Amino acid sequence: MASVGQPAPDFILFDSAKNQIGLNNLRGKKVVLLFYPFAFSSTCTKELCYVRDNMSLFNNIDAEVLGISVDSLYTLARFKEEQGFQFTLLSDFNKEVSRLYNAIYEEWNYNMKGVSKRASFVIDRQGTVQYAQVLEKAGDLPDFDAIQASLNAIN
């Protein structure tokens, strides 16, 4: 489980362009992990469009944003293209990373099992979790002000 002050659990996932992305490969950068339930759903689209529309806030402080859901690579590629996202979307189709970060609904609406919760984590340049928020209600949005404050506090 990812807790503030602890090393962020490492993982390797495929992005929407079918490239392997490993968290340890991003050492030296600030990283924001944004887990979300489903591409194309209203709240998830609103969340990721906020990031898209405010990318300069992340780019200006050398922060890498990674969106993570249990959607397939193909769904994520279409979502990224249609919304014009300029950040990485990762497929946790096997639900391993969502479980590793304790960001998963084992049972969710309509008898769906294994859906990512809306959660956000800020990881510093050394790979330590500096901020963690796991939301129980999928309709809630992350606290982007707290995410930004955490990023700004990292040297």
Active site residues: 44
Note whether 73 and 16 are within 8 A (CB): yes
Handedness of CA 95, 45, 147, 86 (dihedral sign): positive
Strand pairing category for 20-22 and 30-35: unpaired
* Residues 6 or more apart whose Cβ sits within 8 Å of residue 56: none
**Beta partners for residue 107, in sequence order:** 113
**Alpha-carbon distance values, 123 to 12, 63, 75 (Å):** 16, 9, 26
